[in-house]
């Protein structure tokens, strides 16, 4: 089975985002599933290397509270062709 985990609030290993994504990805892969994880485009190298995340998403609204980001929540997909390539692979 193929899984896609999309977590824009995953730039580093702090907090519950890392814990749940790492657990799901590890256990699904252990069962023989294919797992892709899309994360914050500023994801730390550890996540890219060890968790195999693809750092393509804009910063999470949770990391930008107070800057008016909520009003722009629908404009997150900045490069549709890039996302289509990720889904197709």
Q: Are 14 and 34 in contact (CB under 8 A)?
A: no
Would the pTM count as exceeding 0.75? no
Residue 71 has pLDDT above 90, yes or no: no
pLDDT at 60: 76
Q: Which tokens sit at 42?
A: 């500023």
Residue 73 pLDDT more than 50?
Answer: no
Span 52-74, average pLDDT: 68
Look at residue 54 in the predicted model and tell me its pLDDT. Answer: 95
> Above 80 in pLDDT, residue 83?
no
Counted domains in the chain: 1
* CA–CA dist 62, 78 (Å, integer): 18
- Enclosing domain of residue 77: 2-88
pLDDT, tens only, 11-60: 999 888 899 999 999 999 999 999 999 999 999 999 999 999 999 998 77
Which residue, chain included where needed, has tokens 């629908």?
74
């Amino acid at each position: 089975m193929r899984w896609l985990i999309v977590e824009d609030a995953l730039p580093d290993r702090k907090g519950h985002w890392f814990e749940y994504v790492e657990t799901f990805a590890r256990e699904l892969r252990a069962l023989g599933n294919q797992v892709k994880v899309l994360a914050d485009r500023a994801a730390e190298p550890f996540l890219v290397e060890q968790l195999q995340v693809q750092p393509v998403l804009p910063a999470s609204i949770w990391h930008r509270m107070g800057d008016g980001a909520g009003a722009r929540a629908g404009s997150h997909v900045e490069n549709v062709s890039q996302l289509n390539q990720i889904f197709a692979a």
